Structure 1
Amino acid sequence: MRKGLNLSKIAGAVAATVLMAGISGTAVAAPTHDKNVIGYITQWEAWKGPNEGFTAKGEANHLNVNMDIYSILNFSFFGVAKDGSLHSGDLRNKNIYQPNAVQEPGPLLHPDIYSSWDLHILWGELEYVHQFPTNEPWNQEQYLKVKEQGFVPHGNGWLHEPTGITGQFPIPLKKAGGAPGLIDLAHSKGVKVMASLGGWSMSKHFPEMAADPVKKARFMADLDKLMALGFDGIDIDWEYPGTGGMNFKGNPEDYANFEQLMEDIRKKIGPNKLLTAAFSASTAKLEGFNWSRLSTSMDYFNMMTYDLNGGWSNVAGHNAPLYPYPEEEYAGLNLDHLRNWMAAKGIPSNKINFGAAFYGRGVQTTEAQAYVGAPTDKRTVNFSVDGPTESAVDLDNWKVFEGQPNYNYIVKTPGWEHKWDANAEVPYAVKGKYFLSYDDVPSIEKKAQYIVDNNLGGVIVWQVHGDIKCEGSIVSRGRMLKECTKLSSPLAEAIDRVFTTGGGTAPNHAPVLTVPAAQSAQPGQAISFTVSATDADAGDKLSFSVTNATVVDNGDGSATVTYKAPNTTTSLKEVVTITVTDGSKSVTKDVVVNVDVAGTGETTWDAGKVYVGGDIVVYNGVKYKAKWWTKGDKPGQSDVWQKI
């Protein structure tokens, strides 16, 4: 179910020109590519203001999202309560990290319009009615407004009959002629809006809900309310099935329960709505899924290829590396490794969306001058979400973000030396002992090009307000909403530019790598062999890398690999892994090296046997070589024996 170039989206963009011309004056054509650009829009970011890099508090709302770039927006998050029901993210139990803490049930949308952005974002500019109007001539206009929008009395508050949403006074009426809500605005642009459920701090009750028919029934009933609100689908952010998350442990049954939950949701919402989920980028957390089964019920797999290093890491590493790099703490935590793993699993590439981080992660190191791979300096930090945690997070420079600054804040913060990691293909910055990993326009372009080259579905953005910059003026849209008259989104625009033009190049072809058959070596021996590669794309520069050996590029499309066998007393098989990349696509192959002890002619030392120069023996687990003729001279106690 690919989203992108379609008549409804183009027609929506034309209609939006009329609807929004009063504020923006111009309109941008809808995307002409067929890639997904999925942006998470949170209900809490709008509380942030100038201290966090925004022009005004309330700027980070749906009115300041370039909907000519995004194809899907995920409203984040609704949480899962202990009884399986859904609740507003604003009602999250802030002590959920504590042992035995649970999430109590609550309203689906926060009923207080003064302390929550739920209704302002979803329903737009509001006017407030503080009591139910009576059907009297002097009050009839207001009475008709309330009635037409579907509000009726409910206890000491109101019930919105079309959706089943309840709340307290005042009644939040959509203002006639006011700024539209997220769903109405998105639909006018041909953009779909999904409800995202869960997230890092609201996934605790997913496992028990998915395993309990009664709790699952409550969950499903609340899905009906979400769909009645106008959402185009459901996005599940269960972090994480099988392995657990904040204050809960996973179990093996989670995987099958997750798969069943997807099928149940699909049956509930029907075949024409979207169903997606966010997944970890760690392949260890993905092995338990039946991907063929998931592919049948789901539209997209949203892979969170960010948060791969941070304050929890023992060395300073990259938040969202595209490729591996020598200093990485754990192998395999990069986008390229994940793509190859998913391809080997036979997962359809057009269902895979990879993550783009519109934020960075800062840590402090033990070094006077930070660098990639520097040891991190941990201490106990009391996070607002995770509680007391051992972390190396940099709070000296990024306190208001708890170490995770938005891109739009990073770019205007002075005093940092910005560098580029040619291996990982991402930038980073250092300032004394502090290290910051983030993405910028060039790295986002490289990731977008990688998605094009590998025929992937598209990209997910966490989160859409991380890169916005108001270059015009701010207009108030009611009490809470602020709208910018001229908005810049450099990272989102970079994604759109590459997806639209394909990077300005023809599709990239992977190199072809040729390696020799299995090799043989004696213990302690160094051997060399040649590998070669070709590329159908003229002009692509090829580079070689290896593990468990060294490599020298010969400059003619070949390279010499040198392997040094260990001084082992038992025969073994070693594997040398060779990778060639053209800067966009990489190919990896293995060469087996048989380290043959028997081939050296060595034996266990025998006091009654004659040995001559060059003979090798093993005595007390140590290898020795004879220098000359000898008999009865004990190795390690005679000069005739040279220890190897």
Structure 2
Amino acid sequence: MNKGLKFTAIAACVAGALGVTATATAAPSHDKAVIGYLTQWEAWKGTDAGFSVKGEATHLNVDMDIYNILNFSFFGVAKDGSLHSGDLRNKSIYQPGSVQEPGPLLHPDVYSSWDFHILWGELEYIHEYPGNEPWQAEALAKVQAQGFVKDGRGWKHAPTGITGQMPIPLKKAGGAPGLIDLANEKGVQVMASIGGWSMSKHFPEMAADPVKKERFLQDIDKLIALGFHGIDIDWEYPGSGGMNFTGTDADYANFEQLMDDIRERIGPDRLLTAAFKAVPAALEGYDWARLQRSMDYFNMMTYDLNGGWSNVTGHNSPLYPYPEEEFEGLNLDTLKNWMVNVKGINPKQINFGAAFYGRGVQTTEAEAYLGAPTDKRNVNFSVDGPSVSAVDLTNWKVFEGQPNYNYLIKQPGWAHKWDANAEVPYAVKGKYFLSYDDPDSIRKKAEYIVNNDLGGIIVWQVHGDIQCEGSFVNYGTKLKQCTNLRSPLAEQIDQVFSANIIPNEAPVLALPGAQNVDSGAVISFTVSATDADGDALSFSAQGADVTDNGDGTATVTYKAPNTAVDLTETVSVKVSDGRKSDSGSVTVNVKGSGDVVNTAPVLTAPASVSVKAGETAVIDLSATDAEGDSLTFTASSGELVQTGNSATVSVATVDSTENSVVNVVVTVTDGVETVEATVVVNVEGNTPVDSNWDRNKVYNTGDKVVHNGVEYTAKWWTKGEEPGTSSVWEAFDDGSAKGWSADKVYNGGDVAIYEGNTYKAKWWTKGDVPGSAWGPWELQ
């Protein structure tokens, strides 16, 4: 065991050491892989989860000077082998016999999912496919330029084959870029990560069935068409099984063949990686020589080695063995020795895990300590369902016992300690024990990777340590970017990996002086840049088009708006060498025509919306103006929130058993002309409550209640979970279809009646009104 700091020489490029080469240039200049998992669901979390604002945890707040690979997580595998958005996972998949129904690759609803906002960036909504009328010409040109075509009542993105429901999610011109566009600008690669703990159930059957595997590979083609630089497989786990499925020995060979098939499908120049269980006994069944030929990296999940399932307290991610460990060998050093010395695996293909979160448990002792007995009881997890666990929900309830580093480090009352054997920290507070990583332990793991000439490190997950020390810039209603972002754990990794690297010099941008142009006219001007390192440069601009001349210069083309009065505009220009950048702005003086011509704005509003009585109806509005005038929205009732040229009207309704209609008049004005529309809010009355369910009562398996006129049976222990909204309750089924309820959870295969028609659920859903062509319901 060598715990010293003897650094190995850092090579020029990791790709040359691997069997498969990658074409993209990584943002960091060292030779180590720094792979960060970026989840689609973290963006929903706000201040209660340690973030400054909701929407902070997106691609706009990731330091791409540190990470050279980002894994967008996760896409799931459905029962037919197809892939689906992680937002469409069956939340009851932990139940025996439960399956994942097929669903869209990207969630089609831009309001309830972050898929398009993260992958495509700031969006401009087009609420109906434009026709051929003159006033629709601009919108039609936009959707056609981005490859959208009409597809039934929805749209299809022709370049990728992705389909969706209205509105059309256009990339906003000059807006914040999406994950893949931003990564391309930074020289970072983005992987499509498939599976994860709760969406791996159908991996074994897909990998064993040629028909299902071909369906899977067809969706791999779509991911590559979307711009992903490679594929990451998170089958948890071949051979040993996972949530609601068992593994078999056949899984190992099927996994190896799947890797060969994916490699053939994506070609030799894209990355192929997979996450592996960090337990040697679970890894014996693989032909590692075969995997080394088809894959770039083996991402070892060297975390979650102890937690609420453990009988005694232990470390989440220990670097070395320690006397108190419950099971011998669950640490990074033992795994490395087994992989390299016993199995002969190329160390440059091995990446070890870094946990940017902790695991909390409660013990039976008045004062917790390392190795203390854990205190287990029945717990109902949001993902895993009912489990026996010692998880600490007293201190980390919002995180279900797994707090992010940026949250846990701020909590008072904990005594923080250091284990000199495992070389990781832990903390205690009364009977509670917390295992986590801090900057010192992350640094030691990075040094270990360098000392042992390993490939690099994987981070779960990239937003676990971010701290905004500045303010936020809003891009639309969803995306927010911090002006001064810190990543204290990730920064330790970068400092170690970059220790022997000559620092990169930022390019220097040269811009011309102010430009003059007439109203509606087009001008071009040249910008240039130099780079002390001789790196290749790329130019971009906001408010204008850029043509890179390939010789350190670029031509910027600007079209002036049609204006009667003089304007002063700004064109922002940026140059990047793939790692660092320089930016500036050019002032453009637009000479007005003197002709005062005004065109009324164009308002886009739905004809009607539906809502249950007592709930709030949401009306989404947008508008355009030919002159680019500032627009103002109003509404005759409800609360209106305007963001740029879009607005949302929230109309509260009164709880009632009667159906009713509310007419909301909405307007938009450019200060000269006003356009209005009437939106009909259809309010559906609630069924009179008929209930003997008690929120404060404990129900056990088999207990029956009546709630909202429906008889339910408890499937396991429960308290406080309302029948019709939680999968713990099973509704009595007399064989007939029931009326659809906005408050009820439906799983794939469930049927419901709505407006006289019978619908069947395609996947898990709650609150989605049947009838939408792209929704979760299909007409029977």
The interval holding the TM-score normalised by the smaller chain is: 0.7 to 0.9
Tell me if 1:37 matches 2:49.
no
Tell me if 1:274 matches 2:271.
yes
Secondary structure at the counterpart of residue 399 of structure 1: coil
Q: For the residues of structure 2 that align with 1:417 and 1:499, how far apart are their CA atoms?
A: 31
- The amino acid across from 1:323 in the alignment is Y
Secondary structure at the counterpart of residue 401 of structure 1: coil
Tell me if 1:111 matches 2:108.
yes
Q: For the residues of structure 1 that align with 2:23 and 2:201, how far apart are their CA atoms?
A: 39
Match 1:290 to one of 279, 287, 290: 287
Matches for 1:55-94 after TM superposition, within 5 Å: 55-94=52-91
Report if the CA contact (8 A) 1:314-1:329 is conserved. yes
Name whichever structure is richer in helix by fraction.
1
Q: CA deviation at 1:33?
A: 1.1
Report if the CA contact (8 A) 1:301-1:351 is conserved. yes
Q: CA deviation at 1:471?
A: 0.4
Match 1:98 to one of 95, 99, 111: 95
Number of the residue aligned with 2:193: 196
Secondary structure at the counterpart of residue 54 of structure 1: coil
Q: For the residues of structure 2 that align with 1:48 and 1:283, how far apart are their CA atoms?
A: 35
Tell me if 1:417 matches 2:415.
yes
Q: For the residues of structure 1 that align with 2:122 and 2:433, how far apart are their CA atoms?
A: 41
- The amino acid across from 1:177 in the alignment is G
CA 1:149/1:503 → structure 2, altered by over 3 Å: closer, same or farther?
closer
Match 2:50 to one of 43, 49, 53: 53
Match 1:352 to one of 343, 350, 353: 350
Match 2:321 to one of 320, 324, 337: 324
CA 1:7/1:296 → structure 2, altered by over 3 Å: closer, same or farther?
closer
Number of the residue aligned with 1:239: 236
Q: CA deviation at 1:252?
A: 0.5
Instruction: Could you tell me which runs of 5 or more consecutive residues in structure 1 were left unpaired when the two chains were aligned.
Output: 13-29, 505-644
Secondary structure at the counterpart of residue 83 of structure 1: coil
C-alpha distance after superposition, 1:432-456 (max 9, x if no partner): 0000000000000000000000000
Match 2:388 to one of 364, 387, 390: 390
Q: For the residues of structure 1 that align with 2:132 and 2:427, how far apart are their CA atoms?
A: 64
Q: CA deviation at 1:178?
A: 0.1
Q: For the residues of structure 1 that align with 2:40 and 2:104, how far apart are their CA atoms?
A: 15
- The amino acid across from 2:287 in the alignment is N
Q: CA deviation at 1:137?
A: 2.0
Secondary structure at the counterpart of residue 196 of structure 1: strand
Secondary structure at the counterpart of residue 37 of structure 2: strand
Q: For the residues of structure 1 that align with 2:152 and 2:374, how far apart are their CA atoms?
A: 55
- The amino acid across from 1:81 in the alignment is A
Match 1:478 to one of 476, 480, 484: 476
Q: Larger deviation: 31-40 or 441-450?
A: 31-40
Q: CA deviation at 1:490?
A: 0.4
Q: Larger deviation: 54-63 or 495-504?
A: 495-504
Secondary structure at the counterpart of residue 14 of structure 2: coil
Q: For the residues of structure 1 that align with 2:397 and 2:81, how far apart are their CA atoms?
A: 35
Q: CA deviation at 1:8?
A: 8.4
Tell me if 1:454 matches 2:466.
no
C-alpha distance after superposition, 1:462-483 (max 9, x if no partner): 0000000000001111111111
Q: CA deviation at 1:2?
A: 2.1
CA 1:447/1:4 → structure 2, altered by over 3 Å: closer, same or farther?
farther
Number of the residue aligned with 1:148: 145
Secondary structure at the counterpart of residue 459 of structure 1: strand
Secondary structure at the counterpart of residue 56 of structure 1: coil
Number of the residue aligned with 2:755: none
Secondary structure at the counterpart of residue 390 of structure 1: strand
> RMSD between aligned alpha carbons?
1.7
Secondary structure at the counterpart of residue 240 of structure 1: coil
C-alpha distance after superposition, 1:521-565 (max 9, x if no partner): xxxxxxxxxxxxxxxxxxxxxxxxxxxxxxxxxxxxxxxxxxxxx
Tell me if 1:259 matches 2:256.
yes
Alignment coverage as a number of residue pairs:
486
Number of the residue aligned with 1:22: none
Tell me if 1:2 matches 2:7.
no
Q: For the residues of structure 2 that align with 1:272 and 1:68, how far apart are their CA atoms?
A: 23
CA 1:503/1:256 → structure 2, altered by over 3 Å: closer, same or farther?
same
Secondary structure at the counterpart of residue 95 of structure 2: coil
Q: For the residues of structure 2 that align with 1:274 and 1:86, how far apart are their CA atoms?
A: 19
Number of the residue aligned with 2:517: none
Q: For the residues of structure 2 that align with 1:119 and 1:206, how far apart are their CA atoms?
A: 25
Report if the CA contact (8 A) 2:22-2:271 is conserved. no
Report if the CA contact (8 A) 2:30-2:501 is conserved. no
Q: CA deviation at 1:502?
A: 5.7
Q: CA deviation at 1:136?
A: 2.5
CA 1:135/1:2 → structure 2, altered by over 3 Å: closer, same or farther?
farther
Secondary structure at the counterpart of residue 430 of structure 1: strand
Secondary structure at the counterpart of residue 274 of structure 2: strand
Tell me if 1:205 matches 2:217.
no
Number of the residue aligned with 1:378: 376
- The amino acid across from 2:441 in the alignment is S
Number of the residue aligned with 1:433: 431
Report if the CA contact (8 A) 1:497-1:503 is conserved. no
Q: CA deviation at 1:32?
A: 2.3
C-alpha distance after superposition, 1:101-144 (max 9, x if no partner): 00000000000001000000000000100001112222211110
Q: For the residues of structure 1 that align with 2:24 and 2:425, how far apart are their CA atoms?
A: 35
Report if the CA contact (8 A) 2:22-2:270 is conserved. no
* Larger Rg computed on CA atoms: 1
Q: For the residues of structure 2 that align with 1:366 and 1:503, how far apart are their CA atoms?
A: 50
Instruction: Could you tell me which runs of 5 or more consecutive residues in structure 2 were left unpaired when the two chains were aligned.
Output: 1-12, 503-780
CA 1:457/1:90 → structure 2, altered by over 3 Å: closer, same or farther?
same
Q: For the residues of structure 2 that align with 1:145 and 1:331, how far apart are their CA atoms?
A: 61
Tell me if 1:400 matches 2:412.
no
Matches for 1:524-543 after TM superposition, within 5 Å: none
Report if the CA contact (8 A) 2:125-2:168 is conserved. yes
Report if the CA contact (8 A) 1:4-1:35 is conserved. no
C-alpha distance after superposition, 1:8-34 (max 9, x if no partner): 877x8xxxxxxxxxxxxxxxxx42210
CA 1:7/1:230 → structure 2, altered by over 3 Å: closer, same or farther?
closer
Match 2:126 to one of 87, 109, 129: 129
- The amino acid across from 1:2 in the alignment is V
Number of the residue aligned with 2:223: 226
Q: For the residues of structure 1 that align with 2:23 and 2:98, how far apart are their CA atoms?
A: 46
Match 1:165 to one of 155, 162, 167: 162
Secondary structure at the counterpart of residue 501 of structure 1: coil
Match 1:175 to one of 164, 172, 175: 172
Q: CA deviation at 1:7?
A: 13
Report if the CA contact (8 A) 2:23-2:269 is conserved. no
Report if the CA contact (8 A) 1:4-1:32 is conserved. no
Report if the CA contact (8 A) 2:15-2:22 is conserved. no
Number of the residue aligned with 2:467: 469
Secondary structure at the counterpart of residue 360 of structure 2: strand
Q: Quick one: percent identity of the two aligned structures?
A: 76
Q: CA deviation at 1:46?
A: 0.1
